Amino acid sequence: MASLPFSATSFHSTFICFNYKARNPNLFFLKKGSRFTFSRRKFIIKSVASDQRQDLKEEGQITEEASLDTFVPDSASIASSIKYHSEFTPSFAPDHFELPKAFKATAESVRDSLIINWNATYAYYEKINVKQAYYLSMEYLQGRALLNAIGNLELTGAYAEALKKLGHNLEDVAREEPDAALGNGGLGRLASCFLDSLATLNYPAWGYGLRYKYGLFKQYITKDGQEEVAENWLEMGNPWEIVRNDVSYPVKFYGEVISGPEGIKEWVGGEDITAVAYDVPIPGYKTKTTINLRLWSTKVALEKFDLSAFNAGDHAKAYSAMKNAEKICYILYPGDESLEGKTLRLKQQYTLCSASLQDIIARYERRSGEFLNWEIFPEKVAVQMNDTHPTLCIPELIRILIDVKGLSWEQAWNITQSYINGDLSTRTVAYTNHTVLPEALEKWSLELMEKLLPRHVEIIKMIDEELVQTIIDEYGTEDLDMLQEKLKQMRILDNIELPESVAEMIAKPEKSSVEAIESTEEEDVSDEETEPTAEEDELEEEEIEEKNEVPPIIEPDPKLPKLVRMANLCVAGGYAVNGVAEIHSEIVKNEVFNDFYEMWPEKFQNKTNGVTPRRWIRFCNPDLSKIITKWTGSEDWVVNTEKLVTLRKFADNEDLQSEWREAKRRNKVKVASFLREKTGYIVNPDAMFDVQVKRIHEYKRQLLNIMGIVYRYKKMKEMSHEERKASFAPRVCIFGGKAFATYVQAKRIVKFITDVGATVNHDPEIGDLLKVVFVPDYNVSVAEMLIPGSELSQHISSLANTLFQLFSTAGMEASGTSNMKFAMNGCILIGTLDGANVEIRQEVGEDNFFLFGAEAHEIAGLRKERAEGKFVPDPRFEEVKSYVRSGVFSPYNYEELMGSLEGNEGYGRADYFLVGKDFPSYIECQDKVDEAYRDQKRWTKMSILNTAGSYKFSSDRTIHEYARDIWRIDPVVLP
């Protein structure tokens, strides 16, 4: 719809008045004392909002029992609010009302509604001093907020009508919003789903993160593959955030630790920055509760700007301190190949932890007032660490409690991690492990950490000493070999000598070996003593030396770096540890942290991930939502996903199947239009839409997928037109995802996919029978478009594990949440028994999940077979590699990529992720997919049963379990 010229000079205002006709508020913005006529009603604004309410009561428009916040705005009042913001919260020139301006004004109008509930939620939590959970995450992959916010407020229809009156379509306006560049993958999307569920279920909680100026990167696909540029999501401002200039905290780096009187430590000198709070409201669905996501931005005091240097022409020196502070929040996951990159990452993590903990403690003190009692701190505060990135909140909490608040070590340690009669309510910090990949089990250089965070290293050493003592108390010193192995696996400090007190205790035998031997000889001596021979003397001396030896306990290797193991610190310093899928939690207990599990089994739990059904069905797939509501009898399923199970009894119903197919096709038409817009490729919406969208990583095996497509293409080329049509169901194979900027092999995979697509899509012999499309810059908004229209989704990660070598049977995908989103939307999965695939298959039924590949118990043997040179690749796999090497797809040299799949050992070789091993099983499973798709009645039934079986994978269920089992918090419904 064309935009209209617009002027809103008639809306000069300072106050809000409500027209309560039909219990709907119309927002009018009037000067004090003015009289304004609108909709045939007259209002006189006398003073402030309380006076307005009294006027309206006198006019009979509201009653004593009615409350202002019980009224819902109608489209007319919303249109007035949008007009007001376009004029008086200006970001654009006043003469036109184009789409970017319409979005900004609409978002600010929605924010007005959110602020009312947001402030009420905040005030009520303060008033009743409720126990609150605080979720710390380096990522929040929120996506666009407009449609989600008005959907949760139940104002979608009203906003659509209001914008229509103003000359725009709601969907067009919503598309103007950039995705918030605060995350990258499943870790960040999970955090955002959790916040949605926390608000919807009325749990008192806040999220904490960093406000990245440029995000991870914006991805372009060119003839050379992936190219990265900085995200520009903040270029036009963020209408959802409010800067809290009165909420800021100092954060320190470097410097030194000095001891004051009575042993009090003080961290002095170094580099000082300031973390400033930016707040984003997170509304619940059909509830007043609106919780907060607090994001930290970094700066320095104005006096750090060197005006003299600037005037002297040394501009770099003048603002170096400012840039050093600001760059902390420039990029999500800056490259860490260099020392500077590592330092910046560690600064990011500490900034998140320090600012958040200072804020949490300040809020606790304010709520406590004159009744401040640190012993009950864990009864009011629960801190959840989302993976190892926020690990430093453990030593930071202890530092603040000891150095700033004056508590003893014992008091601070018990607040952080305490074991008092097994009572969870006495503890504060908990840890979620998301993956067993090395990058998640972070290890930091002790040397770097000592320079950057000297006080925290002291505290970490104290925690390590506590842990070592606990291990010795648990296992004793009789079996020193066993003790040494326990310490090697469990210590926080890696390749670092034991504390002196502990080393002396272990090394000092209770009775010398010489004394013991002499005593034994005295007891065994016979009446007839004989003179020992020379050989007997020598043998006796060897026996004495052997019995007198004390095995060395973790002697540091000077050739290896000294490290701090963050995951071990999380387990030692936290009171609860959870995995994120049943299989993953078993791996955590039995392999990753087995020694800890044996010592502290009560710490370990499973919390299978979930996704919010609001964003991932209700709002992104309205056609399917209407069908679900119709056949389940109500919209209760949007919060109570157990209602989805009702669909199972209708899975064979022809009417439901017909409606289901029609909804899916409408979504596919939208996807086809989107692909044409983003890539230029034209695809047939009647073909199967086969989708793999996720972070590009070797273990996720996009390479297996594209090589399967190459095999499919080669076979097609060898057939006649009639044979092709008889053998293959038409497919559109869609990829999306970002390869980390310094991950060369992942970027090669992106290049390979795009080259295959460029060849296949322009092959007139193949036509619509096969298309390959890589969607650039995959994000939440792209997912919301693709997932409703997808029919087959690939979750084919490798079961091999890089951490535990040959003895491992672990999977590499901890959970995965995109698989849940696809299943919820009636998409059928093809995959391995990894992560949440295991539970999804159990719930949707084995016949409704395409399973292939090696199983976990086979992995050790397969990797050993490869190492011994006994692996014989399938001829079809060799055929595909040769075809790629022939140059049919590109003159680009794919030798490095293909070479990684060959050999028996070596970094970047030996097909570590079992692509070759699983290839035959994979392409044979794809034949079964084709067969099932040809029977649309069968396929539709499978689709319905996937949606019905996804009831378990709601983040609402996950949050209920966190609240009950870890945080010990109860819902708080606003009055």
The angle at the Cα of 200, spanning 195 to 203, to the nearest 5 degrees, equals: 70
* Residue for token pair 């008045």: 17
668 carries an active-site annotation: no
* Separate counts of helices (H) and strands (E) for the chain: 38, 26
| b/e sequence 738-772, b meaning 16+ C-beta within 10 Å | bbbbebeebbbbbbbbbbbbebbbeeeebeebbbb
**Given 434, 603, 614, 738, the catalytic residue:** 434
- Structural tokens at position 812: 């590499």
Please give the Cα distance from 719 to 717 (Å, whole number): 6
Q: What share of the chain is helix, strand, coil (3-state, %, to 5)?
A: 50, 15, 35
**Given 427, 738, 747, 821, the catalytic residue:** 821
Neighbours of 492 (CB within 10 A): 25
Please give the Cα distance from 661 to 668 (Å, whole number): 10
Please give the Cα distance from 915 to 853 (Å, whole number): 10
Half-sphere exposure of 186 (CA within 13 A, CB side): 25
Q: Looking at 731-853, which runs of residues are DSSP E strands? A: 731-736, 770-775, 792-795, 828-831, 850-851
**Given 289, 432, 612, 817, the catalytic residue:** 817
Helix ranges restricted to H, 680-793: 702-717, 721-727, 744-760, 780-789
434 carries an active-site annotation: yes
* Cβ pair 499, 468 in contact under 8 A: yes
700 carries an active-site annotation: yes
**Given 111, 486, 694, 952, the catalytic residue:** 694
HEC sequence for 900-934: CCCCCCCCCCCCCCCHHHHHHHHHHHHHHHHHHHH
Q: Looking at 9-165, which runs of residues are DSSP E strands? A: 15-17, 28-30, 35-38, 41-44, 132-136
- Structural tokens at position 460: 């970490």
DSSP-assigned beta bridge partners for residue 271: 253
**Given 218, 380, 589, 695, the catalytic residue:** 695
Please give the Cα distance from 57 to 64 (Å, whole number): 8
607 carries an active-site annotation: no
Q: Output the CA–CA distances (angstroms, integers) from residue 761 to 529, 645, 679, 683, 774, in the order listed.
A: 98, 40, 12, 9, 12
Q: Which long-range contacts (CB under 8 A, 24 or more apart) does 843-847 make?
A: 843/949, 843/950, 843/951, 843/952, 843/953, 844/945, 844/946, 844/948, 844/949, 844/950, 845/945, 845/949, 847/942
- Per DSSP, the three-state class of 855 is coil
817 carries an active-site annotation: yes
Please give the Cα distance from 252 to 903 (Å, whole number): 49
**Given 389, 603, 700, 724, the catalytic residue:** 700
Please give the Cα distance from 121 to 126 (Å, whole number): 9
89's CB contacts (< 8 A; 6+ apart) are 104, 105, 108
168 carries an active-site annotation: no
* Residue for token pair 């907060």: 292
- Structural tokens at position 80: 């007035």
| Residue (of 667, 687, 582, 681) closest to 620 by Cα position | 667
Please give the Cα distance from 707 to 234 (Å, whole number): 39
Q: How far is C-alpha 500 from the chain's CA centre?
A: 40
Helix ranges restricted to H, 327-445: 339-368, 377-380, 393-399, 409-416
Please give the Cα distance from 46 to 35 (Å, whole number): 10
242's CB contacts (< 8 A; 6+ apart) are 278, 279, 280
Write the single-letter amino acid at 628.
I
Neighbours of 352 (CB within 10 A): 27
Which residues have a catalytic role annotated?
434, 694-695, 700, 817, 821
